[in-house]
Amino acid sequence: MLRKIIHATLIVLLMTEAVYAQMQKPGVTLKNNTPSRTKQQKEYDKALEQSYQSTLKDIPDQKKLDPWGDIRTTPPAAAKNKQQ
């Protein structure tokens, strides 16, 4: 009987701690307190993003390098036909 009472007490304590962990603490806010960006900052961000995208388009495509290409043997012709 004592064992059941001890187990029940432990379960209640563990559940109480789980509930307490979910409660909101005083002085701790979960909201984002940063002020919204101004129109000028938004325009700057937009111009910066457009500049970034145009720069990405100017970068030429690079050939895909295969570092194991010299070591890897070519598969037999029969294996190539099975894959298609």
pLDDT by position in tens, the chain (length 84): 999 999 999 998 888 777 777 766 676 666 666 778 899 999 999 999 999 999 998 888 777 777 777 776 776 666 556 555
What is the structure's pLDDT at 31? 67
With contact defined as beta carbons under 8 Å apart, do 37 and 45 qualify? yes
Distance CA 52, CA 68 (A): 33
CA distance linking residue 18 with residue 41, whole number of Å = 43
Could you give phi then psi for residue 32, rounded to 5 degrees?
A: -85, 110
33, amino acid identity: N
Q: Tell me what pLDDT residue 16 has.
A: 79
What pLDDT does residue 39 have? 93
